Structure 1
Amino acid sequence: MVGPREGFVDRIRQGGVHLSPSLAAAFAEVPREVFVPDGFQRRDGTWAKPADPDFLDVVYSDDVLVTKVEGGRPVSSSSQPSLMALMIETLDVRPGMTVLEVGAGTGYNAALLAALGARVISIDVQDDVVERARAALARAGVRDVRVELGDGYVGRPDEHVDRVIVTVGIAGVSPRWQTPIVAPVEHAGTHPVLRVGSDHTARVVTPAGFMVAAGPLTAAHPFPGPAPPGTIKGLRPYGETRFDPPLDPLAYRDLWYAAGVWNRRATQGAVPGREQSSLMLLDEDRTGGAVVLPDGSIGAAGRWADEYAAEATAVIDRWLDLGRPPMTAWRIVLAPGGDPDSPVLLPHTWEL
């Protein structure tokens, strides 16, 4: 393996992911560029094409490749390789197993699973995504993957499935899926990846953000949707900074996750002057609330600014009093919710 593909596995490992020898071999052998023949959207919004000089350099970076955009919103992609690796390792796939994949994407994830010896049934609700994934898998010479058009909520009740992996953000898992399940489940405006067991308890695997699924899997929204740019104006500072140095990205996500456990108004918001989204307690008007930054400083706006600033302060205090628990420390119990005709199992209670 030479050229841009050389070092791809090492770049995935640099994200702190442990790769088994078999999964490392899969990443080394499956050609990612075959699954993005029409290119992808760069982070600056421009479209990368196969003829571009740096096309393969970007393909073999540890970054998400957005392959379909509708109305300015990404709706399909090839996920960040290190995140894919972590989810696949958590799935604990072994040769001969049947894996149900909800969300086909480009077909690349299914190809990696097949390289591990799995038989894969991949389901997607977008017919063009299904056709492109099928074509890419055929070009790559991948066998043992069946890509179907349909609603992943139903699963495959007429077939034995050993594992379920979900590659789109969902509000809760389908009670029709066999366990174990690895899935990004909505929490405070993000989609941390959960591993769900047969007793419908779960643990957080990693923080993440995903494009949102359609249908019953997102019929329930326990948290307010993210606050887009320009929504929150006139933030006023409340109190002093609490963390010097500021929390690193993972610790900030730990605080963020705890905020979602304790406050159902927790979500993400775009804050002027900050490139990354921030933890926010969004008020009922969706024009104010309180923002918590990585240094622990709080800014608040809107009719109930004082109340939301106090709630944000209470979240920080409680997290510190508990010894800054990481998100992976929470044990989550799922319970039915959402549409009564098509219920999903939602995170219901949390304990450390």
Structure 2
Amino acid sequence: MTGPRGDYVEQIRRGGADLPPELAAAFAKVPREAFVPDGFQRRDGSWVRPADPEFLSTVYSDDVLVTKVDNKIPVSSSSQPSLMAIMIMALRVAPGQRILEIGAGTGYNAALLASLGATIISIDVQEDVAVRARAALARAGISHVRVEHGDGYAGHPGDRFDRVMATVGIGGVPPQWLEQLAPGGLVLAPVKHAGTHPVLVISGPPDGPVTATPVCPAGFMLAAGPLTADHPGAFPSPAGPMDELSQAVPARFDPALDEIAYRDLWYAAGAWNRRASHVAVPGREQGCLTLLDETRTGGAVILPDGSIHTTGSADFVGQAVRVLDRWTAAGRPSMQAWQVSFTLTGDPSAPIWAPDAWELS
């Protein structure tokens, strides 16, 4: 590729995706700009239009493109390409497979799957998003993808798939997705954990047992309806940013944990403490690992250097110290070292299999 697309595949590789040749070819072939014809939102909140000089160079960067905003909250996007690549590789796509995609987004992810030889049914709960994705796929000349408007909780009744892939954050997996899998099939989904959405490879019969292994850290827009229904074991969400923090415990990591190791610590914290969450902290661009108190406005924040900051809750400082001690004593395990077990929970009329127990393998 030349021009703005020239470095695109290499950017995806630098983002952590060890692309096999067929997936590299799909990223090189499918025109991403066809899926954002109305432009997208920058990280600073401004809008990039197709006529803007930086439009193509931004489209062909390893970055998320937000395409729909509701009351300043992003509700649809084209995900970061390197994350898309990692998820597609974990899906183990082969020619001839049938894939159910939950969350159509712009249609770009389905186009990549189709370029690998799969046939896709993509479902989105937002009708306008489904309409635009359908038009984008036609504009790009992509076949073997059908986009439907509907609630993805039920999957696609009466059908059978080799893979189910969710591209929105969910609280758990409906039994229907597992029931619609062909023998040997799997679900790939970003499942809520400590305020983030690590991607899991999930398998099991619709009546259980259901188990999973983590693939990578991620953050996704939330699905609507029973896919994110509250349940007794759900992690808490913060009531807002955490202000007026004071340091309670000094740093213990020198150098500080890099982003990957910090996410590994974060995953372990969620496995060991159900108060773990994701909180905005003044002065820090990225959210931080936090153990939230019962008010969800305070608790203890663990920074990448291992220092602990608090709004004044000594009990949560002690809990944070124990998380750090335990993770260090275990040899700083990666999130991929965990095995996850699920329990059937959520809305009794529309239950989900949600993560319930974690063991280091």
Both structures adopt the same fold (TM-score exceeding 0.5): yes
Give the CA deviation at 1:227.
4.9
Check the 8 A contact 1:227/1:268 in 2, yes or no.
no
Give the CA deviation at 1:44.
1.0
Residue in structure 1 matched with residue 203 of structure 2 by the alignment:
197
Q: Is 176-185 or 289-298 further displaced after alignment?
A: 176-185
Q: Which runs of 5+ in 1 are unaligned?
A: none
Find the aligned partners of 1:59 and 1:139 in 2 and give their Cα distance.
16
Give the CA deviation at 1:233.
2.3
Q: Secondary structure at the match of 1:233?
A: coil
Alignment of 1:146-185 (within 5 A): 146-177=146-177, 178=181, 179-185=185-191
The number of aligned residues is 348
Q: Is 321-330 or 172-181 further displaced after alignment?
A: 172-181
Q: Among residues 250, 253, 260, which one is paired with 2:270 in the alignment?
A: 260
Find the aligned partners of 2:198 and 2:92 in 1 and give their Cα distance.
18
Residue in structure 2 matched with residue 32 of structure 1 by the alignment:
32
Q: Secondary structure at the match of 1:349?
A: strand
Check the 8 A contact 1:227/1:269 in 2, yes or no.
no
Find the aligned partners of 1:195 and 1:309 in 2 and give their Cα distance.
33
Residue in structure 2 matched with residue 224 of structure 1 by the alignment:
236
Residue in structure 2 matched with residue 130 of structure 1 by the alignment:
130
Check the 8 A contact 2:240/2:297 in 1, yes or no.
no
Residue in structure 1 matched with residue 287 of structure 2 by the alignment:
277
Which letter does structure 1 place at the counterpart of 2:352?
Answer: V
For the aligned residues, what is the CA RMSD? 1.0
Could you give the per-residue CA deviations for residues 101-146 of structure 1, whole angstroms, max 9, x where no partner exists?
0000000000000001111000000000000001000101111100
Give the CA deviation at 1:87.
0.5
TM-score in terms of structure 2 length: 0.95
Distance 1:227 1:3, change over 3 A: farther
Q: Secondary structure at the match of 2:175?
A: coil
Find the aligned partners of 1:239 and 1:132 in 2 and give their Cα distance.
50
Find the aligned partners of 1:227 and 1:90 in 2 and give their Cα distance.
34
Q: Secondary structure at the match of 1:85?
A: helix
Check the 8 A contact 1:35/1:107 in 2, yes or no.
yes
Could you give the per-residue CA deviations for residues 66-114 of structure 1, whole angstroms, max 9, x where no partner exists?
0000011000000000000010111011111110000000000000000
Check the 8 A contact 1:65/1:77 in 2, yes or no.
yes
Q: Which runs of 5+ in 2 are unaligned?
A: none
Q: Among residues 319, 341, 349, which one is paired with 2:349 in the alignment?
A: 341
Residue in structure 2 matched with residue 292 of structure 1 by the alignment:
302
Residue in structure 1 matched with residue 220 of structure 2 by the alignment:
210
Check the 8 A contact 1:165/1:183 in 2, yes or no.
yes
Give the CA deviation at 1:226.
3.7
Check the 8 A contact 2:192/2:198 in 1, yes or no.
yes
Q: Does 1:187 align with 2:193?
A: yes
Give the CA deviation at 1:254.
0.6
Residue in structure 2 matched with residue 42 of structure 1 by the alignment:
42
Alignment of 1:46-195 (within 5 A): 46-177=46-177, 178=181, 179-195=185-201
Q: Is 258-267 or 217-226 further displaced after alignment?
A: 217-226
Check the 8 A contact 2:237/2:296 in 1, yes or no.
no
